[in-house]
């Protein structure tokens, strides 16, 4: 990735206060981009402290609103002459999607077609990256997931990502919208304050001297993708997309291609933190897919991409971040 490519580039980020969005803000600012962030009205007081930790509050432009407001999105892109859009806003919690599927579909599907339509009508936009997920593939007989597999999510969160992914492909192929799609596994890294997720929840429990809880039987296999690698991958794909229109409409898996079970991951964190605690494996029934992991061969071949961190290196940096925040 070019060191000065992003200098003065006008960038719009939805979901800027989330885990991925926050790291994108930080990296893009470090590379000199001019950044506009979408902040939800109803939760702005909860979200802003995450951005305040980056020390960038006075250097960003904030727009209050939701991805469901198409007129606001179009106006924002026009007024700020936006060149690149990172659409990473989503309702990303599987349990919440099962409790409130309509809200999940409104945010993840309607929000996506709204940003796509706003980009279609904005002549300044040169690249749009839409965050899909490995969950969009649903349950497949053959693994790892590759980009040519059908999208067949069944549960509400999975289905919402399948739909948003397909709508993005439709806009790229029908209208020539310069859009590309990312499909990643489970993000982890400093800044994730959703303690129900396995990595931050495990680290916090160990710091508190409590046994980390595994709600399943611990044998679900997943990709765990370090968040700094994810932010760098998004920026690389956007840069390549602006240079090569043939990438529009394509999806790219990003993964370090190291698959572990939940139990293996928790035990690895315990060892790294020097803890003798044992996981509390609750073995609660779950409707989630047991095995999900990705091939990143297309990204390596077409983008020249490779992860900068191994799983263990990412965990080391993540543990250090939480120790500083939770202990200091």
Sketch the domain layout of the chain as residue ranges.
10-189+225-258+292-309
pLDDT at residue 259, as a whole number: 93
Note if 157 is an active site residue.
yes
Given a cut of 80, is residue 292 above it in pLDDT?
A: yes
Residue 221: CA count within 13 A, CB half-sphere: 12
Considering the candidates 137, 157, 171, 224, report the single residue annotated as catalytic.
157
Alpha carbon 117 to chain centroid, angstroms:
21
The band of 2, judged by pLDDT with boundaries at 50, 70 and 90, is low
Q: Which long-range contacts (CB under 8 A, 24 or more apart) does 259-262 make?
A: 259/144, 259/221, 259/222, 259/223, 259/293, 260/221, 260/222, 260/224, 260/311, 261/218, 261/219, 261/220, 261/221, 261/222, 262/198, 262/214, 262/216, 262/218, 262/219, 262/220, 262/222
Contact 149, 260 (CB under 8 A): no
- Fold held by 10-189+225-258+292-309: Rossmann fold (3.40.50)
The band of 327, judged by pLDDT with boundaries at 50, 70 and 90, is confident
Contact 109, 167 (CB under 8 A): yes
pLDDT at residue 177, as a whole number: 98
């Amino acid at each position: 990735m070019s060191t000065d490519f992003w200098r003065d580039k006008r960038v719009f980020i939805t979901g800027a206060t989330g885990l991925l969005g926050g790291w994108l803000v930080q990296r893009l600012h470090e590379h000199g981009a001019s950044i506009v962030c979408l902040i939800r009205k109803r939760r702005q007081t909860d979200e802003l402290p995450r951005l305040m930790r980056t020390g960038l509050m006075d250097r960003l432009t904030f727009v209050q609103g939701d991805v469901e407001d198409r007129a606001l999105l179009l106006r924002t892109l026009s007024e700020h002459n936006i060149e690149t859009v990172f659409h990473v806003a989503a309702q990303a919690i599987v349990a919440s999607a099962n409790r409130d599927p309509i809200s999940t579909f409104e945010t993840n599907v309607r929000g996506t077609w709204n940003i796509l339509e706003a980009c279609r009508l904005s002549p300044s936009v040169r690249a749009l990256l839409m965050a899909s997920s490995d969950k969009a593939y649903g349950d497949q007989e053959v693994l790892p997931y590759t980009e040519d597999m059908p999208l067949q999510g069944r549960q509400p969160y999975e289905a919402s990502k399948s739909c948003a992914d397909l709508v993005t492909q439709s806009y790229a192929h029908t209208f020539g919208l310069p859009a590309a799609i990312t499909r990643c596994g489970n993000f982890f890294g400093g800044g994730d304050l959703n303690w129900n997720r396995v990595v931050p929840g495990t680290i916090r429990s160990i710091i508190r001297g409590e046994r980390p809880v595994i709600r399943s039987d611990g044998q679900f296999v997943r990709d765990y993708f370090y968040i700094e690698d994810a932010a760098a991958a998004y920026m690389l794909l956007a840069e390549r997309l602006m240079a090569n229109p043939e990438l529009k409409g394509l999806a790219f898996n990003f993964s370090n291609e190291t698959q572990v079970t939940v139990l293996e991951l928790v035990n690895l964190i315990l060892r790294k933190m020097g803890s003798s605690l044992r996981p509390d494996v609750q073995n609660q029934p779950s409707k989630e897919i047991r095995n999900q992991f990705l091939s990143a061969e297309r990204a390596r071949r077409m983008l020249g991409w490779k992860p900068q961190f191994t799983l263990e290196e990412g965990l080391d940096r993540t543990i250090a971040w939480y120790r500083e925040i939770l202990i200091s």
